[in-house]
Amino acid sequence: MKHDDIVFTVFTPTYNRRHTLNRVYESLCMQTFKRFEWVIVDDGSEDNTEELVSQWQKGSWFPIRYFFQNNQGKHIAFNRGVTEARGQYFLPLDSDDSCFPDALMKLYKHWMDIPNEQKEIFSAVTGLCVDQNGNLVGDKFPKDMVDSDSLEMHYKYKVRGEKWGFQRTDVLKKFTFPNLSGEKFVPESVVWYAIAREYKTRFINEPLRIYWVGASDQLTQNKNPGRFAKGHAFWKLQVLNNELDYFWYDPWNFIKSSVNFVRFSFHSKDNLKRQANLVNRGAFLLWFVTVPFGYFVYINDKRKCPN
């Protein structure tokens, strides 16, 4: 397939998921929309994932491109995938999930339904997920088709749970995940909500992805509250500094975000002076009031998990 013929880059980050990757591969083999490539970024697997992918590459009707990196975290693998992408639209699909045979076709159709003169202000089409038993995962959108953004959908409409769709590749190249020294996890909403401040998404109430309940993504698994503290502190700082105009839609969410910013900042060895310097003027009072609560949660974390 020529470079110019590729519409979608389906992207899969993986780490020791040889036993589940076949779900992705088999669902891609069944796609009714043919103009896509599959980019796999292996974040340091030790289970012979490369050998399995090599077998698929020899017999697949669609391009499969495999990249290996030392273990750095899903967010760094994501950045690599965006860099390598040849498609106009970037569609992440986790290594333990699958999608319906007409998923790419539906995504493309809904994108093409957006008037050409409006496409510049849109970056994405997003649909619903069901589990392996066909049960809806998360909430539906308020209408069968809504043109909005992820921030409004989260705060104003209170839509929660797994969703799935693509972003324009050129937009993602402007909104990369931060590379925080020594940190292997940064929540995806850091990027989605940054994009939402500048671009709209077409949300559709159609199930497109199969989210396998019970499977644990090893790239983001976290049992120790302090393990990915830098990534979580960075995430909550973005909420405080950039999303406070939604405060009255969900005050409790912002209070919890401020508490967790303090909590994870202490885990990251950031003292009160540094925290105060990071928080902007609009969020300073909220941060100041929640410092004692955040510190209490941090101390409780250390008691439960000293290391």
Encode pLDDT of 115-159 as tens digits.
999 999 999 999 999 999 999 999 999 999 999 999 999 999 999
Residue where a domain terminates, one of 210, 243, 269: 210
pLDDT at 184 over 70: yes
The verdict on residue 169 lying in a domain is yes
Evaluate if residue 293 carries a pLDDT over 50.
Answer: yes
Q: How many domains does one find in the chain?
A: 2
pLDDT at 4: 73
Encode pLDDT of 74-87 as tens digits. 999 999 999 999 99
The DSSP secondary-structure symbol of 157 reads S
- Residue-number span of the structural domain to which 117 is assigned: 3-210
Please indicate, yes or no, if residue 222 is contained in any of the structural domains: no
CA distances from 135 to 34, 120, 165, 207, 270 (A): 28, 35, 18, 10, 43
In the prediction, which pLDDT does 213 show?
Answer: 87
- Same domain, residue pair 192 and 241: no
Strand partners, 67: 41
Mean pLDDT, rounded, for 76-104? 97
DSSP state of 178: P
For 153, list phi and psi in degrees, rounded to 5: -65, -35
- Residue 216 confidence (pLDDT) above 60: no
Say yes or no to pLDDT of 114 above 80. Answer: yes
With b for 16 or more beta-carbon neighbours within 10 A and e for fewer, the 138-159 pattern comes to: eeebeeeebebbbbbbbbebeb
DSSP alpha helix (H) spans, the chain: 21-29, 49-59, 74-84, 103-113, 150-155, 169-172, 189-196, 229-242, 251-267, 272-278, 281-304
Token pair, residue 19, equals 């036993």
pLDDT at 1 over 90: no
Contact criterion met (CB below 8 Å) for 164 and 209 = yes
| Confidence (pLDDT) at 305 | 84
The overall average pLDDT reported for the chain is: 95
pTM, two decimal places: 0.94
What phi and psi, each to the nearest 5 degrees, are found at residue 81? -60, -45
Tell whether 119 and 35 lie within a shared domain.
Answer: yes
Asked if the model's pLDDT at residue 219 lies above 70, the reply is no
184 occurs within a structural domain: yes
CATH number, residue 147: 3.90.550.10
